[in-house]
Chains A and B, each alone.
Chain A
Amino acid sequence: MFVEVKHLKKDYGIGENVVHVLKGLSFQLEKGEICTVLGPSGAGKSTLLNLIGGIDTLTSGEIRINGKKIELDDKDGLLEYRRDHLGFVFQFYNLIPDLTVKENIEVCGFLGKNSLDIQKLLKDLGLKEHQNKYPRQLSGGQQQRTSIGRALIKAPTLLLCDEPTGALDYETSKEILELIENVNREYNTTILIVTHNEAISRMSDRIIHLKDGRITKNEKNPSKTPAKDLAW
């Protein structure tokens, strides 16, 4: 198994104010799988993603990537893990405003040991003619493409997408989903998408339903729908 999550718990606050956000999650992902985590707001989707992404600490449980346990107490180890294996795509892009499209992508390209060719990537992402623009000069879709480019440039083994289409219109959302699908196909990247949009789950290999910090359903998708055919 490429990703193994066992009895994952996450609490926030202390004493009487403690909130149990994740209440013991366990699931597994195979290499090259697209997995969608579905759930309403407050279900714990982003928290799960942050834990797998190594940017938050867990209360108990275990996460293994490619058989290796993620030691959440080892800050340096976590940093190397994020550096070598992960790519992030966020709902609100999180681009660096002072850098151009190309430079925003290069920010992560600098980190990769076998970074992809940036010109090819820019072309694949449809950003070639926008490469010297600043984020604020771009549409939401173009910004999200840049964000995906930034995540992909270092050829991550695991791509984490937090509501990647949450801030986009219907058409642009579909374009972005197609792009994610292409990435999965071309680079065999394992992709974990958290979203509350059920339609997106139809393009994934695995669907995990999350509610109130618990997995209510974990199923293989027997009939994947290509992203271009999705509708909602």
Chain B
Amino acid sequence: MVTGGRGVIMKNVLKKRLPRFLFKNIAIYGGIALFIILMTSLAAAYVIGNQGISAAFEDARENNRLEDGFFSLAVPMEESELSGLLGNSLEFEYQPYVDLTASDESEVRVFQMRHSIDIPFVLEGSLPDGDNEIGLDRLYAEAHDLKLGDHITIESKDMEVSGIIGLPEYIVSFKELGDLLADRDVFGVSIVSDGFFATLNEERIINQYAYKFKSELSKDEVNRENRDIIKKLGDKGILTDFCAIGDNNRVNNLLSKLDLNINMSTYFLVLSMIIVAFLFALVSVHTFEEECSFVGVLIATGYKKRTILRHYLTIPVLVTLISTGIGLLLALTFVYKVPTQSVYAYYVVPKMLYTIDPARMAFMIGFPILAVILINLIVFGRKLNLTPLRLIRRDTKKEKRVKNANEMKSLGFLNRFRLRTVVRSKGQYISLVIGVFLAGLLCMFGLGMRSSFDQYIDTLPDSAVSDYQYVLKAPLPDASVIPADAERDTISTYETEFNGRMLPVNVLGIGSDSKYLREFNVSSLSDNEIIISDIMAAKLGIHKGDTIELDNKLTLHKWNAKVAEVVDFELGVYVFTAQKTLNSYLEKEEGYYNTVFSDGEIAGIDERFISTVVTKEKVADSAKQMKTLMASLIVMLTAVGIICYIIVMFMLTKMVIDKNALNISLLKVFGYRNKEVNKLYLSQTQWIIILSVIVFLPLQYFLLGKIWPGMLNSMSGYFYFRVTPLVMAIIVVLGTATCLITNMIHVKHVRKIDMTEALKNRE
């Protein structure tokens, strides 16, 4: 009973100490808590927000029955006729539309109501029922300030907005499939009742059909089926347009952006967690050094090591748990709106569904806790095995013979003192340097992402092959409209396997008389050799001499091609070959072409033949759009990178100064001037930090460049991780300023330490 009672009292006494201990170290634990809250809330918000939207989209894919593809026919066909032609493995829905002009000159694509495929989702109000009702795409309605019950005049017809809706196959309303930018001021989609649609001008109606496979098919089967559809309808000579869902940018555009956001935030989270673990390691070493004698006394008094370990684990674990909890709570209740709003600003998607990814959540909660427990167990566990006497005497390190002081005599006392302090505290300085490296990595990650996008946007238009590129559905019947100086080439989309999924690859067959791409010497290539863009090489991590497999979904052509050369071409993932070779693979005649490069706009091309027109402006706009979409993530990463950098630098400098606080105070007792104290204790710390900040820049750049392709994994394109000299300068200035300001704050604090207290506290 007596022993038990004593044990309980001991534990209670230790417990009483906890709040005081926390208060004493509030700057350190506060810093860590702030760091965890920031990291967890933001990273979790991006994961929750993007996954929530992804889940909502998948839900709509299922419940609103997203098509597996669509085709357009020159003349409508009966369903039975279509089934007879294409077989019973497909279901169809006739989804005609007509592009009409609204009173404000914007164009509205009006669809007939669908019932079985691509069912619209209603965000407000209801689907149109009456003859004068219309359901408007949310973003078009917002851009034109139209609300439920408002009226819109389209080609003299006055219609009431009955619903704010979204069409599952128009998540982003590109007018043409090949468009790079959706501008809701000039184009939007809508839906009207069957009855009302019947009253519209038949001549301009596009006879579009959506189809869905009746059973689950493999990727190869889907490709085969799609090819069959094209062939059978093409043979009848009525096919005017076709797109399988996998190639539909109006849908895929969102998915790849969501994946990119999730990917980026996951990388960010992992990097942050490594920093959290590192901070904990520092804090536990720091705590142990401060508490060493006290721990020795506790053990000598009869405390069990387990009790001591538990005592020192309590605060870090509680701080981690509470701050992770707060971070997650913030993410779930509020911060998730940051990423979702940026998606809602460009995509019309159903309202996000809260989905908790158990693996990621477990990582977010579990990792910091596990890290804190493990690190403390390692730091304290190892040291607790020392004898209480050694602990009381703070004799915890293996002693090495000191280099004879005479050997360093020429350095002078101050330099020797400084050198000795650094050498003696090398563990601490190594931690400091690692901390500076990690924090700088995070900062460069944030700032570098921004500068990479900026550079991408700046250089992309210049890397366009020509001012205009026309992608055609077929060669023009009247080729005389094409100017003589324009270049006719063949382009086709192949796929190659990349990290477990199929990555689209643009294959450009260059004509023998090429004007724009003359320097790519495709005429010397054998049939199995290709030239690839450096962007493709960087994204896929392939080099000259490697072989890659390319699949064409439509022709089912499989191509094992050897990389003969890697060329500078920033426009995207491109393969170059001779036009003749590509035409033969596409089973086309020798003179076939489907893309025209030109310095000027080509007038007179029949619009029905144009799949898309790419101009330098459009390319630049699409890159800008992409940056806008990622703006919140970029701002978050930049801001958090900087904030974390400051927090880590503050904590690191504080720990170094804390450790020396009593020595500094003692020197003051002896009569050292502040300037001298600074020289002895603080200046080398400052210099080490500032030098580390600068020296690590190339390494950080190199490492981020290495992990960058992984971050852009989900993007079909690629751009380089580029850090401008300005970014480097910002990192150096931020690091230096944080270090100097922190030093100033700490020095002020040190100056305030009562000298008599300093004397009393030393043993």
Q: List B377-399 residues whose CB lies under 8 Å from chain A.
A: 393-395, 399
Among A80, A92, A98, contact of B763 (Cβ-Cβ < 8 Å):
A92
A-chain residues with CB within 8 Å of residue B399 when the two chains form the complex: 134, 137
B667 touches A94 (CB 8 A): no
With A132-B404, A136-B393 in contact, do A110 and B414 touch (Cβ < 8 Å)?
yes
A148 and B198 CA atoms in complex are apart in Å by: 107
Among A53, A81, A110, A132, contact of B402 (Cβ-Cβ < 8 Å):
A132
B-chain residues with CB within 8 Å of residue A111 when the two chains form the complex: 670-672
B416 at the interface (CB under 8 A from A): yes
B501 at the interface (CB under 8 A from A): no
A94 touches B759 (CB 8 A): yes
B420 at the interface (CB under 8 A from A): yes
A98 and B414 CA atoms in complex are apart in Å by: 15
- 4 further A-B contacts with Cβ under 8 Å, apart from A97-B394, A99-B424, are A92-B763, A94-B759, A99-B417, A134-B399
B420 touches A55 (CB 8 A): no
B669 at the interface (CB under 8 A from A): yes
B-chain residues with CB within 8 Å of residue A102 when the two chains form the complex: 405
B-chain residues with CB within 8 Å of residue A134 when the two chains form the complex: 399, 402
With A55-B756, A103-B416 in contact, do A83 and B762 touch (Cβ < 8 Å)?
no
B-chain residues with CB within 8 Å of residue A80 when the two chains form the complex: 671
Shortest CB-to-CB span from B393 to chain A, Å, is 5
Task: Tell me how many residues of B have a C-beta within 8 Å of chain A.
Answer: 31
Rank and list the top 4 A-B pairs by shortest CB-CB distance, nearest first.
A83-B671, A82-B671, A55-B755, A98-B424
Closest to A162 in B: B759
Among A56, A84, A103, contact of B756 (Cβ-Cβ < 8 Å):
A56
B417 touches A107 (CB 8 A): yes
Closest to B421 in A: A98
A96 touches B413 (CB 8 A): no
B103 at the interface (CB under 8 A from A): no
Closest to B751 in A: A75
The digit string for B652-681, where 1 denotes a CB below 8 A from any CB of A, is: 000000000001001111111100000000
B425 at the interface (CB under 8 A from A): yes
The digit string for A61-99, where 1 denotes a CB below 8 A from any CB of B, is: 000000000000000000111111010101010101111
A178 at the interface (CB under 8 A from B): no
B425 touches A100 (CB 8 A): no
A108 at the interface (CB under 8 A from B): yes
Output the residue of A79, A88, A96, A100 with the most chain B CB within 10 A: A96
A-chain residues with CB within 8 Å of residue B424 when the two chains form the complex: 98-99
Output the residue of A81, A94, A103 with the most chain B CB within 10 A: A94
B669 touches A82 (CB 8 A): yes
B405 touches A103 (CB 8 A): yes
B-chain residues with CB within 8 Å of residue A107 when the two chains form the complex: 417, 667, 670
A-chain residues with CB within 8 Å of residue B673 when the two chains form the complex: 79, 83
Q: Give 10 A-B contacts (CB < 8 Å), ordered by A residue.
A: A56-B754, A56-B755, A79-B672, A86-B671, A94-B666, A98-B424, A103-B416, A132-B401, A132-B405, A134-B402
A contact residues vs B (CB 8 Å cutoff): 46, 50, 53, 55-56, 79-84, 86, 88, 90, 92, 94, 96-100, 102-103, 106-111, 131-132, 134, 136-137, 150
A102 and B394 CA atoms in complex are apart in Å by: 20
Among B393, B404, B663, contact of A96 (Cβ-Cβ < 8 Å):
B663
Shortest CB-to-CB span from B408 to chain A, Å, is 10
Summarize B's interface: helix, strand, loop or mixed: helix
B-chain residues with CB within 8 Å of residue A132 when the two chains form the complex: 401-402, 404-405
B413 touches A106 (CB 8 A): yes
A103 touches B668 (CB 8 A): no
A-chain residues with CB within 8 Å of residue B402 when the two chains form the complex: 100, 132, 134
A108 and B680 CA atoms in complex are apart in Å by: 13
Closest to A106 in B: B413
The digit string for B725-760, where 1 denotes a CB below 8 A from any CB of A, is: 000000000000000000000000000001110010
A46 and B404 CA atoms in complex are apart in Å by: 38
A-chain residues with CB within 8 Å of residue B759 when the two chains form the complex: 50, 55, 90, 94
A-chain residues with CB within 8 Å of residue B420 when the two chains form the complex: 98-99, 103
A-chain residues with CB within 8 Å of residue B393 when the two chains form the complex: 136
B-chain residues with CB within 8 Å of residue A88 when the two chains form the complex: 669-670
A-chain residues with CB within 8 Å of residue B404 when the two chains form the complex: 132
A100 and B668 CA atoms in complex are apart in Å by: 19
B-chain residues with CB within 8 Å of residue A100 when the two chains form the complex: 402, 405
A82 and B665 CA atoms in complex are apart in Å by: 13
A79 and B665 CA atoms in complex are apart in Å by: 12
Shortest CB-to-CB span from B386 to chain A, Å, is 13
The digit string for B409-425, where 1 denotes a CB below 8 A from any CB of A, is: 00001101100110011
Shortest CB-to-CB span from B391 to chain A, Å, is 12
A107 and B413 CA atoms in complex are apart in Å by: 8
A111 and B670 CA atoms in complex are apart in Å by: 8
Closest to B425 in A: A98
Closest to A94 in B: B762
Output the residue of A50, A98, A102, A106 with the most chain B CB within 10 A: A98
Closest to A109 in B: B413
A-chain residues with CB within 8 Å of residue B401 when the two chains form the complex: 132
A79 and B755 CA atoms in complex are apart in Å by: 12
B395 touches A110 (CB 8 A): no
Shortest CB-to-CB span from A113 to chain B, Å, is 12
Shortest CB-to-CB span from A107 to chain B, Å, is 7
B-chain residues with CB within 8 Å of residue A97 when the two chains form the complex: 394
Closest to A102 in B: B405
Shortest CB-to-CB span from A71 to chain B, Å, is 15
A82 touches B756 (CB 8 A): no
Shortest CB-to-CB span from B412 to chain A, Å, is 10
A83 and B672 CA atoms in complex are apart in Å by: 7
A131 and B406 CA atoms in complex are apart in Å by: 11
A136 touches B671 (CB 8 A): no
A46 and B755 CA atoms in complex are apart in Å by: 13
A231 and B346 CA atoms in complex are apart in Å by: 93
Shortest CB-to-CB span from B222 to chain A, Å, is 70
B-chain residues with CB within 8 Å of residue A86 when the two chains form the complex: 671
A-chain residues with CB within 8 Å of residue B405 when the two chains form the complex: 100, 102-103, 131-132
A50 and B759 CA atoms in complex are apart in Å by: 10
A46 and B416 CA atoms in complex are apart in Å by: 34
A163 and B621 CA atoms in complex are apart in Å by: 80
B-chain residues with CB within 8 Å of residue A84 when the two chains form the complex: 671
B-chain residues with CB within 8 Å of residue A82 when the two chains form the complex: 669-671
Q: List B476-509 residues whose CB lies under 8 Å from chain A.
A: none
Closest to B671 in A: A83
A-chain residues with CB within 8 Å of residue B663 when the two chains form the complex: 96, 98
With A106-B413, A137-B399 in contact, do A79 and B421 touch (Cβ < 8 Å)?
no
B763 touches A108 (CB 8 A): no
A67 and B236 CA atoms in complex are apart in Å by: 119
Shortest CB-to-CB span from A98 to chain B, Å, is 4
A86 and B401 CA atoms in complex are apart in Å by: 33
A-chain residues with CB within 8 Å of residue B417 when the two chains form the complex: 99, 103, 106-107
Shortest CB-to-CB span from B416 to chain A, Å, is 7
A50 and B163 CA atoms in complex are apart in Å by: 83
Shortest CB-to-CB span from B160 to chain A, Å, is 77
A110 touches B671 (CB 8 A): no
Closest to B390 in A: A136
A94 and B758 CA atoms in complex are apart in Å by: 9
A-chain residues with CB within 8 Å of residue B666 when the two chains form the complex: 94, 96
B763 touches A79 (CB 8 A): no
B-chain residues with CB within 8 Å of residue A131 when the two chains form the complex: 405
A83 and B668 CA atoms in complex are apart in Å by: 9
B756 touches A79 (CB 8 A): no
With A96-B663, A98-B420, A98-B425 in contact, do A110 and B413 touch (Cβ < 8 Å)?
yes
B-chain residues with CB within 8 Å of residue A83 when the two chains form the complex: 670-673
Shortest CB-to-CB span from B619 to chain A, Å, is 61
A46 and B393 CA atoms in complex are apart in Å by: 25
Q: List B202-251 residues whose CB lies under 8 Å from chain A.
A: none
Shortest CB-to-CB span from B703 to chain A, Å, is 34
A-chain residues with CB within 8 Å of residue B421 when the two chains form the complex: 98
